[in-house]
Amino acid sequence: MEKKLPKIEIIEKYCKGCHICVEFCPTKVLEMKGFYATVKNLEACIKCMQCELRCPDFAIKVITE
């Protein structure tokens, strides 16, 4: 069965580049690209929502069906 991938939305206007989401993602889905966080490896996402919970700046939304 094909795995349904979530959509990870990063609002660059809100992101302050603190690295929290990148460091604490258990499967290393995110990376820093310049000042902002970006999605590097969406296939590895297990939808644990830790990045969304820990983002202090309301910049990440993990949208699952």
Partner 1 sequence: MAFDYDKYIRPGKLPHIWCPGCGHGIVMKGLIRAMDTLGLKKENTAIVSGIGCASRLPGYIDCCTLHTAHGRAAAFATGVKLAKPEMNVILCGGDGDGTAIGGNHFIHACRRNIDMTYIIMNNYIYGMTGGQFSPATPTGHKASTTPYGNPDPCFDIAKLAIGAGATFVARGTAFHANQIDKLIVEAIQHKGFSVVEILDDCPTTYGRRNKYKSVIEMMNRLKEVAVPVKAAEKMTAEQLQGKILTGVLYKEEKPEYTAEYAKVIERAQAK
Residues that bind partner 1 (CB under 8 A): 9, 13-14, 16-20, 23-24, 50, 52-58, 61-65
Nearer to partner 1, 1 or 35 (CB): 35
Q: What is the DSSP string of 1-45?
A: -PPPPPEEEE-TTT-----HHHHH-TT--EEEETTEEEES-GGG-
Cα 54 from Cα 37, distance rounded (Å): 13
Query: Least Å distance between CB 41 and partner 1?
Result: 19
Query: Least Å distance between CB 2 and partner 1?
Result: 20
Nearer to partner 1, 19 or 27 (CB): 19
